[in-house]
Amino acid sequence: MHLVVFDIDGTLTNTSQVDHACYWRALCEVFGIVAHQPDWSGFCHVTDLGIACEACERYLGRVANRQELDAVRQRLVALLEVALIVKDPRTFQIRGASAALALLRESPDFAIALATGGFRASAEVKLRRAGLFDASIPWASSDDAVAREQIMRVAAARAAEKYAVEFAAFTQVGDYRCRTTKSALLTKSFIRPFAVYAFQCCVRSIDRRPLTGS
């Protein structure tokens, strides 16, 4: 069986810009930061938990406590719930995302998991607003780990437990390529989010045929 792990923002949901704005606002309000939104790539761990912890150290010179991190999560969810109001969920879907997920669910040769650098609660809001939330899909978030590589491993482990199989191949679909080793996740390929529609077509062409690799 082939495991396909999707990122969420910019991969399944068209929510990257609004998420970045709401997240930075939540950080500023909770920590009292007065600064322009920085370049996320300058942070050690580009995840909601990692950036929140490092931002506190960078701007306030101290370690964030659990109450503050919980407050960031709650404020971010509140901001997203207001920002992502629209009648048509397809507004927040990346083209081909819904069809690709549906196609993979129906195939006996593929398994799905989600791995996001965002907080679970805020990620769920985005998936629900886009009409893509499925409680049966195993996933992991920055609530599970601070590093993206570890989040990917947790998602893969939960998928293996759910499907009770040893995966023959692994594909990551997202805008952040994790440096996960083959020993951890077997044969691996990587697809950037703009190729989700093409990936959907590719899956359709190989669906129900024996896999020869990733």
- Domain membership of residue 35 as a residue range: 16-83
- 48 and 31 within one domain: yes
Cα–Cα dist 70/74, whole Å: 6
- 107 and 73 within one domain: no
Cα–Cα dist 67/4, whole Å: 35
Average pLDDT of the segment spanning 92-118 = 93
Query: Which tokens sit at 204?
Result: 């359709």
Give a yes or no: residue 213 inside a domain. no
- 123 and 107 within one domain: yes
Domain finish residue from 52, 83, 114 = 83
- 184 and 202 within one domain: yes
Give a yes or no: residue 104 inside a domain. yes
- 99 and 52 within one domain: no
- 99 and 192 within one domain: yes
* Tens-place pLDDT, residues 30-52: 999 999 999 999 999 999 999 99
Confidence of residue 178 (pLDDT cuts 50, 70, 90): low
- 195 and 125 within one domain: yes
Domain finish residue from 83, 109, 137 = 83
* Tens-place pLDDT, residues 184-194: 344 445 444 44
- 199 and 116 within one domain: yes
Q: CA angle at residue 81 from 76 to 83, to 5 degrees?
A: 90
List the CATH number of the domain containing 202: 3.40.50.1000
pLDDT of residue 130: 96
- 125 and 33 within one domain: no
Give a yes or no: residue 214 inside a domain. no
Cα–Cα dist 93/126, whole Å: 10
Give a yes or no: residue 156 inside a domain. yes
Cα–Cα dist 135/183, whole Å: 29
Cα–Cα dist 97/64, whole Å: 36
pTM for the predicted model, two decimal places: 0.84
- 159 and 55 within one domain: no
Confidence of residue 23 (pLDDT cuts 50, 70, 90): very high
Distant-in-sequence, close-in-space partners of 208: CB < 8 Å, separation ≥ 6? 107, 108, 109
Total tally of structural domains belonging to the chain: 2
Confidence of residue 202 (pLDDT cuts 50, 70, 90): very low
Give a yes or no: residue 165 inside a domain. yes
